[in-house]
Amino acid sequence: MVPEQKPSISDLKGASLSLRLLVLAGIVSFAASAHAANIVTDSGFESAGGGNIYFSGQSIDGGSWNVTAGSVYIDTGDPYVFAGSNSLNLTGANPYVPDSISQTLTTTPGKIYDISFWADADSANAFSLTENGVAIAGLPTSIVDNGFPGLTTNSSLFVDYTSDFLATSSSTTIDFTDTADPPIGSALGSVEIDNVVVQPTPEPSSIALMLTGILGLGIALGRKRVASSLSAL
C-alpha cells in the first residue's frame, strides 16, 4: 500500500502560480479587447482646440468630430472637464437652440455596437443621440442636471450613459444633439460630454473560445502537477 502523501510546499506554490497565471490571462484578454475595440477617434476631445467656439460646418479637431448644427465650445479646465484636458460643452455657447456634433464611424453591417459616454449639465435640456438619423434606444431625453458646484473638479457628478445599436451600414454617423434651456439671464446652460466609446459587442463564440483557452491552460497545468507527483512516488 502506497502511503498517503500530503501536498508539498512546492505543490502548493505550483497551484498558487497556476491560479495567478489563469487570473492574469483572463485580465489581459479582457483588458486588451476593451482597449483595442473603441472605434471613435478623439473620444475625449483632446485633439480639439481648447477654449474655442466651433460653428456648424466646422470640425473641432481636423475632421473627426464635426459640428452639424448651432455651435459648441471646448472647455479646458475645472470645473467642467470630466477627464484629461478637454470636455465638449455641447450647449454653453448657444443655448435655447439645437446644437449638434457628429462623427462617422466604420462599422460592420449586422454587428451590435456598445456605446457609452460621460455627461453632466447645469440646466434643463433636451438631449438625443442618433446613429444614421435613428434615435439610439435606452438613452434619456435629457442629461441629468447635477451642476458644476466644485471649483476644482466635478468628475464625480458626471453620469456614465450606455446603450447599444445594430449597425446597418459599413459607415455609421453618431450625432449628439442637445438644446439647453437655462433661466433667462443666468450664466447656466452647459451640457458637457466626454469619453465617448463605441465598440463591437463581444460575440458569444469569441467569449466561449477565450474561456475554453483559459480552461485548457488550467487543465494542462493541473495534469503537469499530477504527473510530477506520480513520478516522485
- The predicted structure's pLDDT at residue 23: 40
Q: Is pLDDT at 18 greater than 60 in this prediction?
A: no
The answer, yes or no, to whether the previous bond of 200 is cis (omega within 30 of 0) is no
- Which pTM does this prediction carry? 0.76
The Cα–Cα gap between 64 and 45 comes to 10
What confidence tens digit (pLDDT) does each residue in 95-120 have? 999 999 999 999 999 999 999 999 99
- The predicted structure's pLDDT at residue 25: 46
What confidence tens digit (pLDDT) does each residue in 156-175 have? 999 999 999 999 999 999 99
- The predicted structure's pLDDT at residue 28: 42
Q: How confident is the model at residue 203 (pLDDT cuts 50, 70, 90)?
A: confident
Mean pLDDT lowest among 15-19, 178-182, 189-193: 15-19
Determine which helix (DSSP H) or strand (DSSP E) holds 206, and give its type and residue range: helix 204-231
The CATH code for residues 44-202 is 2.60.120.260
What confidence tens digit (pLDDT) does each residue in 33-79 have? 544 489 999 999 999 999 999 999 999 999 999 999 999 999 998 89
Q: Cell 465598440 maps to which residue?
A: 199
- The predicted structure's pLDDT at residue 224: 57
Going by C-alpha positions, the residue among 164, 162, 161 that lies closest to residue 144 is 161
Q: Which three cell numbers stand for residue 103?
A: 462623427
The answer, yes or no, to whether the previous bond of 79 is cis (omega within 30 of 0) is yes
- The predicted structure's pLDDT at residue 156: 96
SS3 assignment, position 230:
helix
Residue spans of the domains in the chain: they are 14-35+205-231, 44-202
Residue 190 contacts residue 180 (beta carbons within 8 Å): yes
* Bridge partners (DSSP) listed for residue 53: 73
Residue 213 contacts residue 154 (beta carbons within 8 Å): no
